Amino acid sequence: MESKMVPKTSREDKRPERPVLKCHKCGVTSHLANTYTKKTKINQAQVIEDVQCTEEKEESDLDSAVSQDTPVEDYPIENITAFLEVTEVPNHLPQYSEDCHNLFSIQDARMCKAKPARGKGYTSGAFCIISILMNDIEARVNLDTGAFCICVGKDYLQTILPGWKNHLLPIEGLKFSSASNNMYPLGILDTNPVFPHPSGSVRMKTEIVVMDNFTSKHSILGNYYFNIYDIDINNHEDRYFTIGENKRQKFAFSNMPKQISVISSVKYTYKEEFNAFTSDDEPLGDIEGHEANITLNIDGTYPPVLRRPAYPVSPRAREALEKHIQELIQLGVLRKVGHNEEVEVTTPVIISWNNDKSSMAGYFRALNTYKAQHRYPISRIQETLTQLSKAKYITSMDALKRFHQNVLMPKN
């Protein structure tokens, strides 16, 4: 009796074969895709063998060397010629001025900051004004890549270098313009401005073109010196600029406040209507000649609705109320009543709070019931507009206490 024994399989045979890791870009096992630094593409690959004399010898050699069971990796290849082409395209090529551009791969630019409202894009700009030293005197310079030289007005240069006319070099045959205006040069001035920095200042050798009709309160540094001194402006989170090869030395821009020019005619108007504005002596803007006249149609004793008692208040509201009353007495809006003086109309006041700030208001609505109405015909709109055509103001409000400019007549 024969016993058929099944050979035991070893544990090694049961283990799954480990996959061979290959680069999914080029299929080579020598490296992976994450370490692949250069993208290449094989356009052509030819297998070149030695040419035999006869076709029979060629077929016999192939039959003897290659059989059907021979794997592909063992095929005899004597010489391989591969033509490789790098598919990477440089992204720093200049923009050529051609009539037709072959546009491809258009992407939307990513905004690094919040987008301004529509029609308000001009408000998100920033200044490129910096501070330099010229002959140990601080001066202001605008880094303008749209200009091609350094220029300065004669009036501003007089404040920095009073004796600049003695060192002026002649200039001839050149025309300058700013936007649509022509600029008239007076000459060239050699200067050595210093860019101060805590880690080490930088000095430049420059030539400034002095303009006759340049009215800005700063000079302009053009792109000519951007190129020769390698000035780079960074508009990322922290705006700064660098000079030369030292990119770690960052120069900051000056914080230039917005300047509001005052028209001379406004100054004269302010002098003429000085009494309508507040001052230290009279902090309320009272307008004379527009006092209010309130007449009540009551004969004899006033009704109780016009003599209302005060409301109960909390300690916090009472403290705020006393502060407001004392302030109004100092401003001349209220006055203290004497002991023997009779008050015919009384009204309670309340304290309202808004963001921990208190304001006082009085209840005078009951006066509308007993106020004598004004009886006059309604004027035409055209007549009203004609009367207001030469008026400097129609109504006015005091920004401090809102309604106190409506002064009452003394008899009221």
List the CATH number of the domain containing 199.
2.40.70.10
160 and 245 assigned to the same domain: yes
SS3 (DSSP) at 324 = helix
131 and 242 assigned to the same domain: yes
Per-residue pLDDT 10s for the chain (412 aa) are 444 555 555 555 556 677 777 877 777 777 776 665 554 444 444 444 444 444 444 555 545 554 555 555 555 555 555 555 544 545 555 555 555 556 667 788 877 777 777 877 777 777 788 888 888 888 888 888 878 788 888 888 888 888 888 888 888 877 888 776 788 888 898 888 999 888 888 998 888 899 888 888 888 888 888 888 888 888 777 788 889 888 888 888 876 544 445 555 566 666 677 666 666 666 666 666 777 777 888 777 788 888 888 888 899 999 999 998 888 888 777 888 887 887 778 888 888 888 888 888 888 888 888 887 777 677 788 887 887 777 776 665 555 555 556 677 777 6
220 and 323 assigned to the same domain: no
317 and 238 assigned to the same domain: no
231 and 312 assigned to the same domain: no
246 and 161 assigned to the same domain: yes
Q: Is residue 404 part of a domain?
A: no
Asked whether 162 and 229 are in contact (CB, 8 A), the reply is no
How many separate domains does the chain show? 2
233 and 138 assigned to the same domain: yes
Q: Is residue 211 part of a domain?
A: yes
Other CB atoms within 10 Å distance of the CB of residue 298: 14
Residue 213 is part of which domain span?
126-252
Cβ neighbours of residue 126 under 8 Å, at least 6 residues apart? Answer: 235, 239, 253
| Chain centroid to CA 343 | 59
Q: Is residue 212 part of a domain?
A: yes
235 and 317 assigned to the same domain: no
134 and 213 assigned to the same domain: yes
Q: For 256-309, where are the alpha helices, taking DSSP H only?
A: 264-272
d(CA 115, CA 124): 9
SS3 (DSSP) at 133 = strand
User: Beta strands 185-191 and 40-48: pairing type?
Assistant: unpaired
Q: Is residue 342 part of a domain?
A: yes
137 and 238 assigned to the same domain: yes
149 and 219 assigned to the same domain: yes
d(CA 137, CA 158): 12
- Residue where a domain terminates, one of 252, 268, 285: 252
Q: Is residue 141 part of a domain?
A: yes
Distance spanning both ends of the chain, measured CA to CA: 141
Residues in the chain: 412
